[in-house]
Structure 1
Amino acid sequence: MRRTDSKIVAIDLFSGAGGLSLGLQQAGVHVAAGIDLDPACEYPYEHNLGSEFRQKDVASVAGAELMELWGDAQYRLLAGCAPCQPFSSHRRGADTSDETSWDLLSHFARLVRETSPHFVTMENVTRLKSMQIFSDFVADLEELGYFVEYGTLYGPKFGLPQERRRLVLVASRIHEVHLPNGDFDRSEFKTVRQTIEGLRPLKNGESDPDDPLHSARRLAPINLARMEASIAGGTWRDWPEELLAPCHRKASGASFQAFYGRMVWDQPSPTITTQAYNFGTGRFGHPEQHRSLTLREAAMLQGFPHDYQFVRPSEKPTMKAVGRLIGNAVPPAFGRAVGKVFTEYVKTLVKEKA
């Protein structure tokens, strides 16, 4: 474990492959451990972060275990992003309240009650803000004496080359804290070009021999023809009639304009999902090469460093498994911004005591 002299020690619940933890580390927070049920997260978490990974269901974690992990930390931070699938707008109004992940936010609140960390932060989809389970979470924190602030953060304002909006909460039981505002103006937003243009050019189905994650999924002939007919920032309406899919020919086809599209070089990318390697599931066509995004490009647009490893060198990465790790990750840029909220506050406390 990489021990730092940070006065804040964090534990990352629902840690995934380590996006939130990486951002916290970049802000100067020491991350003691990540906890997640998915065994595929262990290697990327421990290899890239040097912190302990515990494969556990957060519902089975007790406060005493967290206190042991924090040790003698001067300030304790409990961070996490409960699985967002039940709250996602992609579920199109389905009743998801009976899914097992629905009550994980309640277990987050339970662990706050059991351990009383100095700071708490949570990240999730924006839709969660309007749900009772989130209102209950905020009420629990306030009842425990926490100052709470939450709102929607927009990725490009924090240096993320991606049009991602997420609900972020920060809380402190010492004094009020506030959400970060973001340091980037629109003219400074990081773009797709600035992020991935330096990678090796690839043809449809081609792989970079030096990076297993930089591999383009082979498109079927019909989709390759659609890719070749696509314009950066355009829609399927740019295609000739013979390339249209059945859904495009229906009256409701107008609602599918975010699918089968190319990204634009000089703009942030659309939100990276678990299937960002699939041309047909979003605007995931390369801006000019006739292919879908690679896993490496998706990871970099999500804010991970170029050398971030998701599988062991002896393993062959699969699109589905690694795509899930990348798409479900908290962009490190959000973790870094939130981490700075707490580290700057602690620096102020230290100065006041000096």
Structure 2
Amino acid sequence: MSTQNTIGVIDLFCGIGGLSHGMFKEGFDIIAGFDIDDTCKYAYENNNKSKFYNQDIKTVTIEQINNLFANYDIKVLAGCAPCQPFSSYAFKVKDKDKNKYDLLYEFGRIVEGVLPDIVTMENVSQILSFKQKPVLNDFVDLLKKNQYQVDYKIVYCPDYGIPQTRKRIVLLASRLGKISLIPPTHTKNKYKTVRQTIGKLPPIKAGEICPSDPLHRARALSELNLRRIESTPIKGSWKDWDESLILDCHKKDSGKSFGSVYGRMNWDEPAPTMTTLCTGLGNGRFGHPEQNRAISLREAAMFQTFPKSYKFFSPKEEISITKASRYIGNAVPPKLGKITAKSIKKHLDEIKSNK
């Protein structure tokens, strides 16, 4: 295959392809994605015109990556290692899978062996203060040792038109010269809101599926939880309930800090951070602003900036709310992938104009 002046991307820890899709939409060739979850294959390949490898990063070889990159002028290696070990929750509980901490070191191993032109990495902002190992500092040191110029910053997603309050570290590194993320595209008074994002979707009830959109489905609620959401005013939470509806754990001092749990979203603000549990009413402020239910899969996907055309499941496969919630919550928002790609294109244009 001849690919003159082309940008090729290999996405490690690709999941269903949120980051890849943003780059794909900006005209990059998505060569391949690697992930340990084989159920991501259909979505990854069918939305990104790419090849999915169901492989643990520890088994990925330098030769394998070099062969995939062989025909490309500009080689981009992306690695958004699973963020659970560094998340706020993992700080509060004893994480059982210590090996997850080493995934960024495995990414570093591949970077050092392949030396791609550009490296990008996205992770939760808590990685900056991660106590167990200085993983981010070690990764940056490895990049600098291998002649990369490195830039990383905490990105507040609403600043880039993503309608949720997600904060993420975005790192860009280049062996070609200085690189940085493009400036924010949205000011606070222009942040995309819940209303702008999902306000025109047809109303559905808890446990229902929209006839015209199979992904627009909401989890069923128990009779008690239905009474709870019915008792929750707009912008409210469990703190607005009658005493008889409040969970015992929230009556204790230790539970009073979780004020947004069972809460409704605010129409006129960005949504909270989407997680793998975002379609469950009791897992955060994931109640619909007005309807008596948690947000649907479609709504979660839209808050993550997945286009409506994105295929999460094969037509032969039954849609699983649990599986889809995991796919969506674990994903990099495609719009953040586009921002990353635009930053890389700007960098390459600057390199070209300086020659």
Contact 2:4 2:72 in 1 (8 A): no
The equivalences for 1:210-289 within 5 A come to 210-289=212-291
Selected match of 2:151 from 131, 149, 152? 149
Shift of 1:28: 2.8
The equivalences for 1:31-42 within 5 A come to 31-42=30-41
Superposed CA deviations along residues 148-206 of structure 1, whole A, max 9, x for unmatched, are 11110011111101110001111011111112321101111111111112222101211
Superposed CA deviations along residues 86-126 of structure 1, whole A, max 9, x for unmatched, are 11111243444852222111110010111110100000011
In structure 1, C-alpha distance between the alignment counterparts of 2:143 and 2:190, rounded to whole Å: 36
Shift of 1:134: 1.4
Shift of 1:57: 0.6
Contact 2:6 2:73 in 1 (8 A): yes
* Contiguous gaps of at least 5 residues in structure 2: none
Relative to structure 1, the CA distance from residue 239 to residue 311 in structure 2 (aligned partners, 3 Å threshold; closer, same or farther) is same
Give the match for residue 61 of structure 1: 60
Give the match for residue 326 of structure 2: 324
In structure 2, C-alpha distance between the alignment counterparts of 1:191 and 1:156, rounded to whole Å: 9
In structure 1, C-alpha distance between the alignment counterparts of 2:215 and 2:190, rounded to whole Å: 28
Are residues 1:309 and 2:308 paired? no
The secondary structure found in structure 1 opposite 2:16 is coil
Amino acid at match of 1:299: A
Shift of 1:236: 1.2
Shift of 1:68: 1.4
Contact 1:105 1:137 in 2 (8 A): yes
Relative to structure 1, the CA distance from residue 4 to residue 241 in structure 2 (aligned partners, 3 Å threshold; closer, same or farther) is farther
Shift of 1:240: 1.2
Amino acid at match of 1:80: G
Contact 1:230 1:262 in 2 (8 A): yes
Contact 1:109 1:140 in 2 (8 A): yes
Shift of 1:5: 7.3
Are residues 1:72 and 2:71 paired? yes
Amino acid at match of 2:103: L
RMSD between aligned residues = 1.7
Equivalences, count: 352
Superposed CA deviations along residues 43-83 of structure 1, whole A, max 9, x for unmatched, are 11111111111111111101111111112211111002101
In structure 2, C-alpha distance between the alignment counterparts of 1:85 and 1:308, rounded to whole Å: 25
The secondary structure found in structure 2 opposite 1:256 is coil
Contact 1:29 1:343 in 2 (8 A): no
In structure 2, C-alpha distance between the alignment counterparts of 1:323 and 1:4, rounded to whole Å: 37
The secondary structure found in structure 2 opposite 1:255 is coil
The equivalences for 1:1-354 within 5 A come to 7-96=6-95, 99-131=98-130, 132-353=134-355
The secondary structure found in structure 2 opposite 1:258 is coil
Superposed CA deviations along residues 15-57 of structure 1, whole A, max 9, x for unmatched, are 0010000111223322111111101110111111111111111
Superposed CA deviations along residues 196-247 of structure 1, whole A, max 9, x for unmatched, are 1222210121111232211111111111111011123222111111111111
Amino acid at match of 1:167: I
Relative to structure 1, the CA distance from residue 97 to residue 4 in structure 2 (aligned partners, 3 Å threshold; closer, same or farther) is farther
What TM-score comes out, normalization by structure 1 length?
0.95
In structure 2, C-alpha distance between the alignment counterparts of 1:200 and 1:134, rounded to whole Å: 43
In structure 1, C-alpha distance between the alignment counterparts of 2:331 and 2:3, rounded to whole Å: 24
**More off after superposition, 342-351 vs 210-219:** 342-351
Superposed CA deviations along residues 319-342 of structure 1, whole A, max 9, x for unmatched, are 111110100001112111111111
Relative to structure 1, the CA distance from residue 281 to residue 97 in structure 2 (aligned partners, 3 Å threshold; closer, same or farther) is closer
In structure 2, C-alpha distance between the alignment counterparts of 1:190 and 1:6, rounded to whole Å: 35
**More off after superposition, 65-74 vs 52-61:** 65-74
In structure 2, C-alpha distance between the alignment counterparts of 1:27 and 1:152, rounded to whole Å: 23
Relative to structure 1, the CA distance from residue 6 to residue 266 in structure 2 (aligned partners, 3 Å threshold; closer, same or farther) is farther
Shift of 1:138: 0.7
